[in-house]
């Protein structure tokens, strides 16, 4: 009995790359190419999304800083001495007495609120 000899690796490679085999597997190659394109597009989309998130975070930080600055400025301006100093050019001063309450007549109240 003779022992069958193995073919050289060169011949094995030639048998795999025959034209018939390649033509028969074209749909699979197209599927792989489509998956590669999707993979690349997904990477680009992810990069774009990360850039947008970073830009939004920077914008939010700037708005937070602006909010804190405006809030501090409003708190400073709403202090009693600051309001008094701002109204001096208009001739307005702080009253030394309590305000007087003017009583309304019953007739006026009933005409304004007829439902009660």
Per-residue pLDDT tens for 87-112? 889 988 888 888 888 887 766 555 66
> Which tokens is 94 given?
């702080």
Domain boundaries in the chain? 9-81
59 band by pLDDT with thresholds 50, 70 and 90: very high
Length of the chain, in residues: 116
Q: What six digits make up the tokens of 60?
A: 């939010």
Distances (CA, A) of 27 to 13, 40, 74: 21, 20, 69
* Tokens read off for 4: 């069958």
CA distances from 45 to 50, 84, 88 (A): 9, 57, 60
pLDDT for 78:
84
Percent of the chain with pLDDT strictly greater than 90: 41
Does 12 have pLDDT greater than 60?
A: yes
């Amino acid at each position: 009995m003779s022992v069958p000899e193995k073919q050289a690796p060169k011949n094995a490679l030639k048998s795999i790359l025959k034209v018939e085999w390649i033509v028969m597997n074209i749909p699979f190659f197209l599927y792989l190419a489509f998956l590669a394109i999707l993979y690349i597009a997904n990477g680009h989309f992810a990069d774009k999304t990360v850039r947008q998130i970073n830009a939004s975070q920077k914008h939010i930080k700037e708005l937070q800083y602006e909010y804190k600055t405006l809030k501090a400025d409003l708190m400073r301006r709403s202090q009693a001495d600051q309001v008094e100093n701002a109204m001096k050019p208009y001739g307005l001063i702080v009253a030394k007495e309590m305000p007087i309450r003017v009583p309304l007549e019953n007739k006026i109240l009933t005409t304004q609120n007829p439902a009660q």
